[in-house]
Amino acid sequence: MREVFSAVDTKNAHDSCAGRRDRGPVTLRKPSRPKEPANAPGQRPDTPPKVVPELLAPAGHWEALWAAIENGADAVYLGLKKWSARAHAANFTLEDLARILPYTRSRGVAVYTALNSALTAPEVPAVLDVLQALSDLAVDALIVQDPGLFFLCRRFFPALKVHASTLAAVHNSAGVRVLERLGARRVVLARELTIEEIQAIRRRTQAELEIFVHGALCYSFSGLCLASSFRGGHSGLQGRCVQPCRLRYSQGKKAGFFFSCNDFCALARIPQLKKMGLAAFKIEGRMKDAEYIATVVRAYRHVMDAPEDRAREAVEQAREWLTRAPARRLTEGFFGENPSAEILSPHRSGSSGLWVATVQALEPDGIRVSLRHPVRLGDRLRPESTQEKEAPPVVLEGIRSHDGAAIEESPSQGTVVLRIRGPVEATSGTRLFRIGRKPVSAAVLWRRITRESPTPLSFRARFDRLDALAEDLSLGPKNPRRLYPALWIKIRSLADLGRAMMSPAQMVWLAATRENLEKMAKRRLHEAQMDRFGWALPPVLFEKEMDYYRKAVAWYLSKGYRFWEINNWGHLDWFLGDAGAALTAGSRMNIRNKAAMAALAEVGCRSAVLSLEMTCEELREILTDPVPSVPVVTVYGRPPLFLSRIQPPILDNRPVRTSRGETYTYRKEGPLAALYPDRPFSWFEKIPQLEAMGYRVFLIDLGDGLVPLERGEWERVLSGYERRRDDPPYVLFNYERKPVPEGRISRRRPERGEPGTTG
């Protein structure tokens, strides 16, 4: 098989079909050979261009914004009240932004606005109003992950600079190249990459690259996690994750926080990373307090500014500062030697923070403690026992010194009595970790900013070209209701291909694993089968796999295999300019609105499998007008809720359970790990309702489920589809939920006089 793929001249295979189909207004380069970055005279071709990376800091609220700027951030990123991937942060209004920008520009600090939430179908008109305002304000860049936002920005707001969010799940050079073609000035790479992989991507691409260097780590790939949404409709892609990876799980007699990750810290790697031609080093933490932001920004600024011969000293000094920043245990993540062992912290779930005191005794009026660092009123503390078991966090309401006096802040050493709000789980020897502080007055900061920049920028609050958008979105099938009804089936094992072909399915999709690709090369399908067969590409392919898959795709295209499902931006790099391929955007492209469908249709996707997180309300909204491509609805599946590069210390193919009784199955899949629910989601009973809306193409997805299929599952699933009724147990996923869950968590109450309040 490898010899067959090696013999294919992939450049000629692409060139022979190029230019035979009009793909709309986007100009797309042929992917025949990656173009290397431009080099200064005298540089070797593999030498990265000389770039001074910027230090990019989070600003989830006014105090954090101030702290980041005052401690040396070159740029900050912040979210608005809606469509931010940190929906639980305080965030900002457009009016706030109109005040912030003159202030930050006077100080030479860039502001990147994170509009990196997944857009639901009803939200597109409102987000166009926001894009109009951001374009008028000329924000330094917009961070996005929804395909629809790429489309809307390119079509209506070309002056807006676009950065691709880490939620776009870009983890190889092919993905960077595709997003660059679609208008991304910068790409934020996935956090699951090694330094060697980042170097390879840098050599093979020209777009600006941004990487995370500090902060929290997700267990699952960002952009590919369904766990929070599956459990209760709170999608991580909407910034509403309830952190199921931080839960306590059990497997047999073993219990622990199997999927809970430590915090990332690349401080010691900064001298090496500075030489790689990267555009920005990013700090995570829009939910963090100002003191944390100040400390971390100061530490990284110190190391980034240090001359090469003083780098080691600078790192040691900065490490000392970081000991005062509340955090989980620090790890070098995928930059380290053994990521799974270093990243996971199965004995604890939360943010351990700074160890500030040890409990000596419980007294009637409080807790007597021995101090290691100062504490002050309003501090959030988390008790941890000598067995490293964590208790719920508490708030410090009072401090009494050794002589009985009430004080607001303690000394750094000695003994004091702490009064805690509510019950506290602590005994003698329990350690207290500070995980947060009461913020300083945002009203004071607001007055300082408005004094320095008294005149806010102006912007339009409405987008007035909705007619033009409607015209763009009607370029596909005018009325999907007129399509013939069709069933699609996706399978994972080649062993199931025979019975899939004998089923009533009009299309059969086979997971494009290496094993299937190599075995299938030895088989031949007759013409009628070829018209019903397609390859479903996997959502995660690392840089070392790119050459193999590029050649495999070209080989199969040359043999007449036309149908391909893409599940990551990088997949498009193998098809752009090839009129022989019939592409479908898979569910992992997270399509929840017509603008997203248009973005994929523009690059050749004739059909789109809508996001698995879709609700009934969104599905109804999508078909109110003509659509850009054929919508496909998944009516049955058991997708992995976590998809990770981290292997936890538990047994493969064994159930794990939460304290609420939820059961999942953990499974290793090559270099990846997956966690599956114990039951599928099924919309068989909803098919009549979906047909009434106008949907005609339905997908039964057995390609992501556990293999081999359970005994009798194949027959049971097909019977359920035909009867329009499934047999329990199953769930409806998000079908009957709200597109945007109500009741956003508020972390704190705004102060009087603070922006966003009255009086």
pLDDT at 744 over 90: no
| Cis before 729? omega within 30 | yes
pLDDT at 58 over 90: yes
- Please tell me the distance from the alpha carbon of residue 68 to that of residue 73, in angstroms, as a whole number: 5
Give pLDDT, residue 491.
95
pLDDT at 41 over 60: no
Mean pLDDT across the chain, nearest whole number? 87
pLDDT at 756 over 50: no
- pLDDT confidence bin for 468, thresholds 50/70/90: confident
In a domain, 275, yes or no: yes
Token pair listed for 210: 């941004």
Place of tokens 């910027």: 54
pLDDT at 46 over 80: no
- pLDDT confidence bin for 21, thresholds 50/70/90: very low
- Asked if residue 442 and residue 393 are part of one domain, the reply reads yes
- Asked if residue 383 and residue 331 are part of one domain, the reply reads no
pLDDT at 26 over 90: no
- Asked if residue 228 and residue 244 are part of one domain, the reply reads yes
Q: Residues 727-754: what's their mean pLDDT?
A: 66
Q: What is the pLDDT of residues 506-558, one digit of tens each?
A: 999 999 999 999 999 999 899 999 999 999 999 999 999 999 999 999 999 99
Strand, helix or coil for residue 584: strand
Q: Is 604 left (phi over 0), alpha (psi -120 to 50) or beta?
A: left
Q: Residues 408-432: what's their mean pLDDT?
A: 91
Give pLDDT, residue 481.
81
CATH number, residue 382: 2.40.30.10
Residues 6+ apart with CB under 8 A from 258: 249, 251, 344, 346, 648, 649, 650, 656
Q: Residues 606-610: what's their mean pLDDT?
A: 96
DSSP code string of 500-567 = HHTSS-SEEEEE--HHHHHHHTT----HHHHTTEEEE--S---GGGHHHHHHHHHHHHHTT--EEEE-
- Asked if residue 447 and residue 371 are part of one domain, the reply reads yes
Q: What is the pLDDT of residues 250-267, one digit of tens each?
A: 999 999 999 999 999 999
In a domain, 615, yes or no: yes
Selection from 20, 19, 169, 152 nearest residue 85 by Cα: 169
Q: Residues 137-166: what's their mean pLDDT?
A: 96
- Asked if residue 318 and residue 188 are part of one domain, the reply reads yes
- Asked if residue 695 and residue 618 are part of one domain, the reply reads yes
Name the domain boundary from 336, 369, 384: 336
In a domain, 54, yes or no: no
In a domain, 462, yes or no: no
Chain centroid offset of residue 249 CA: 23
Q: Residues 327-336: what's their mean pLDDT?
A: 93
- pLDDT confidence bin for 708, thresholds 50/70/90: low
Give whole-number Cα distances, 494 to 544, 549, 585, 588, in Å.
24, 18, 22, 22
Give pLDDT, residue 585.
98
Strands (E), 81-219: 110-114, 141-144, 162-164, 184-188, 208-215
- Asked if residue 279 and residue 255 are part of one domain, the reply reads no
Q: Residues 65-90: what's their mean pLDDT?
A: 84
Quick one: 358 exposed, middle or buried, by C-beta within 10 A (0-12, 13-18, 19+)?
Answer: middle
In a domain, 341, yes or no: no
The strand pairing partners of 723, in sequence order, are: none
- pLDDT confidence bin for 580, thresholds 50/70/90: confident
Give whole-number Cα distances, 704 to 491, 511, 701, in Å.
8, 8, 7
DSSP code string of 262-277 = -EEE-GGGHHHHTTTT
- Asked if residue 81 and residue 135 are part of one domain, the reply reads yes
- Asked if residue 593 and residue 521 are part of one domain, the reply reads yes
Q: Residues 30-41: what's their mean pLDDT?
A: 37
CATH number, residue 565: 3.20.20.70
Q: What is the pLDDT of residues 197-220, one digit of tens each?
A: 999 999 999 999 999 999 999 999
- Asked if residue 229 and residue 249 are part of one domain, the reply reads yes
Chain centroid offset of residue 374 CA: 36
CB 234 within 8 A of CB 742: no
Q: What is the pLDDT of residues 95-119, one digit of tens each?
A: 999 999 999 999 999 999 999 999 9
- Asked if residue 386 and residue 278 are part of one domain, the reply reads no
Selection from 577, 627, 568 nearest residue 603 by Cα: 577
Measure the CA angle with vertex 103, ends 68 and 59; round to 5°: 30
In a domain, 544, yes or no: yes
Which is higher by pLDDT, 323 or 476? 323
How many structural domains does the chain have?
A: 4
pLDDT at 32 over 60: no
| pTM of structure | 0.87
- Asked if residue 169 and residue 75 are part of one domain, the reply reads yes
Give whole-number Cα distances, 29 to 18, 25, 26, 125, 176, in Å.
10, 13, 10, 31, 13
| Cis before 708? omega within 30 | yes
Give pLDDT, residue 15.
36
In a domain, 349, yes or no: no
In a domain, 199, yes or no: yes
User: Percentage of residues in the chain with pLDDT exceeding 90?
Assistant: 69
pLDDT at 720 over 80: yes
Query: Helices (H) and strands (E) in the chain — how many of each?
Result: 23, 32
User: Percentage of residues in the chain with pLDDT exceeding 70?
Assistant: 87
Whole domain around residue 617: which residue ranges?
A: 1-21+485-638+681-708+717-735
Of the CA atoms within 13 Å of residue 601, those in its CB half-sphere come to 23
Helix spans in 391-461 (H): 442-452
